[in-house]
Structure 1
């Protein structure tokens, strides 16, 4: 068998095709697919191959644009360029085009993975495309400077600033020198307090050191929430309130009914469901993180109808009381998976509200739900992560 020479480092003249999931566009050369970053659909570019493991595809960065899209703009961050920071994917596209690209990705994933044909509109959240990120995980390079990694690389790109992060969050962190290899987690809460934690590995053990803060205060769904500053909370300042409102509108949990909040975090959606079912109803909040459960129990102590369970969702739900009226789930990026979907369907809920941060995982799970007779009734998508390829979706199944 003849060995095919690697294209690594090769320059390609490309006509850029459609957007693909993951922050790149698709082109084709000599029968191979080329995933191109820093390009936009319809452009003609020169791209340098950055990764080639053989097979049917390789990866490349557009390094020169010969025919530009009307939506192309100058990136606001000087390191959002080929060979630079991998934290953003679409800084070279205007905000409206970014949302169009994300909508196209959601549509394509629904069609390809779930057989669903649906037009999608990605909605803008308040505040614009910059200065929204309230939570950042940095890494210290060999020189001790904090930064973010290059795309698909361990190389650390040191930062002087990060335009998508909320003002005032990173100034002190970026001015410091850190132990090389350390991860620095930064959270700016709703009250404006900045929380910093450093983590590093020493002799095979992860060590954490709190620099500042510890307990964050967030606000959503008519409540103040106190929680571990580096535990799960929505990154965009407007996301938690927006998602809670959609969940409340679509859940329609009946008075005195039974609801499940799966992957509950500290109970944002459980609080909404509890208000709907009232004191005579029951809400089962399921979360695997013990600190999140403790924070949730403290935050919702005034809602005794919320009962907490710590453990794997599929295990807890298999033993939970059935039937259930409404299920809300907000799984991690990989999705819920067959075991969880099967367990939910066994509860025979009338309505399922699925909050998803990955359209591919959402589509895969929708296909499994369809096998149980649940169809997609409605879907909304939000640009909760401007400048990146990520998009937040909420799906209603009945």
Structure 2
């Protein structure tokens, strides 16, 4: 027992271990969420920054006698895995961060693992979720996208930053209010790092969001002010940024107000141009839009579900990433229903699909729109938020009579749960691909083809 453990036990009568306690554990398998499973005296500990098979010293970050499990960070690797490599980002490297006296930034929790091993671990997570939540035994490789010689760096065309109390650019530690100052973001597209926001005095700002399209069009910086920050201060910060950058601010009601330039960015994908408002959704990996459009259209076209004259729908459609290629495929004799809940993003879709007479764009909740517009579809595209579609929407989708559904998901747990609902309704998973759209993080994207059972 270390002196730290002894002193902790002497004054923590109500808990077995206090946050900050250090323990030595064997790192077990990966779990959904970027953690690895370890055990200490029968207690499950979800450990970040490890690799299965390692022996490591960990620091408890969330613990208590009544907790079902604890959380911890690796602070020293005693027996390293052959898959351990130098971390791609010093600020996110847990052992070195804790040696400097604080937690690492979040957002690159697998950056210490060789890319090939990262992808095999993600494949394990997907297989475990499919088996546990849908009863499906299936192993799917997680595919690299774009040029696989970039080390998994420079892919984020969108990034969100916090701001320290003294006005410097920062990022949050995982599950923490601690803001760690940063002077680089290796996962960010060069268009973001070239802004050098860490050199700007951001006093009066609570957070900063940046979009830098991979096509090289004008970047956008969104400033979320702290309460009481004056418009004059916002304009002062805007003037400190490069002249070819658009700058906007969030008002208390969430609306975006223009400070300089425009409040949207111009994106390109699959032969189409898209206007996307600053707060609107767009895939963040530079190669994600083309990768996902190709996967979806290959599934639907290959199964003859998508052809001239077809009736299709794009649900949770965003700014129309999938709607535009769907309209191309069905032609003027077909129809595309595009449904998006966000008013601003739905307005973007209307601008992006202007002149496409076969497209109907509806702003509203998917379940409400489906209830109002019962029709038989040839195919549906489903791209819900991380929480998934849910039981009620899945039931409505099956009742709408499609011959196939392409389900795009950024969370293997919600996808597997929804797949279980489909299976109980007589549907089956026909095809499944997984893509490494978020290298050095635990996230992945899947595209599945669902069809009614025979």
Correspondence 1:193 to 2:205:
no
CA contact (8 A) 2:205 2:223 kept: no
Structure 2 residue 417 is the aligned partner of structure 1 residue 364: yes
Q: Tell me what 2:232 maps to.
A: none
**Are positions 1:205 and 2:205 aligned together?**
no
Most deviating of 258-267 and 178-187: 178-187
What corresponds to 1:237 in structure 2?
286
> For the residues of structure 2 that align with 1:201 and 1:372, how far apart are their CA atoms?
49
Q: 1:32 aligns with which of 34, 43, 46?
A: 43
* 2: CA distance, partners of 1:140 / 1:211: 19
Q: Is 2:337 the partner of 1:290?
A: no
Given candidates 139, 152, 164, the residue that maps to 1:119 is: 139
CA distance in 1, matches of 2:111, 2:20: 24
Q: Deviations over 1:191-245 (max 9, x none)?
A: 2422101013537935655455422111111112122144111101100001001
Structure 1 stretches of at least 4 aligned residues deviating more than 4 Å after TM superposition: 206-213
Q: Is 2:159 aligned against 1:136?
A: yes
CA contact (8 A) 1:143 1:180 kept: no
Is the 8 Å Cα contact of residues 352 and 396 (structure 1) preserved in structure 2?
yes
The equivalent residue for 2:105 is: 85
Are 1:19 and 2:72 counterparts? no
Count of residue correspondences: 397
- TM-score (ref. length: structure 1): 0.96
Alpha-carbon distance in 1 for matches of 2:257, 2:357: 35
Aligned with 1:96 (options 116, 128, 135): 116
- The structure number with the bigger radius of gyration is 2
RMSD: 1.7
SS in 2 for 1:236: coil
Is 1:172 matched up with 2:196?
A: yes
Q: Which structure 1 segments of 5+ residues have no match?
A: none
Match of 2:170 in 1: 147
1:65 aligns with 2:77: yes
Give ranges in structure 2 of 5+ residues lacking alignment: 1-12, 95-102, 229-250
Match of 2:362 in 1: 309
Give the secondary-structure state (helix, strand or coil) at the position aligned to 1:168.
Answer: helix
Kept in 1: contact 2:33–2:442 (CA 8 A): yes
- What whole-Å deviation, never above 9, does each CA across 1:233-269 have from its counterpart, x for those lacking one? 1101100001001111112324312111000001111
- Scaled by the length of structure 2, the TM-score of the pair is 0.84
* Residue 66 (structure 2) pairs with residue 46 (structure 1): no
2:404 & 2:388 partners in 1: Cα distance?
18
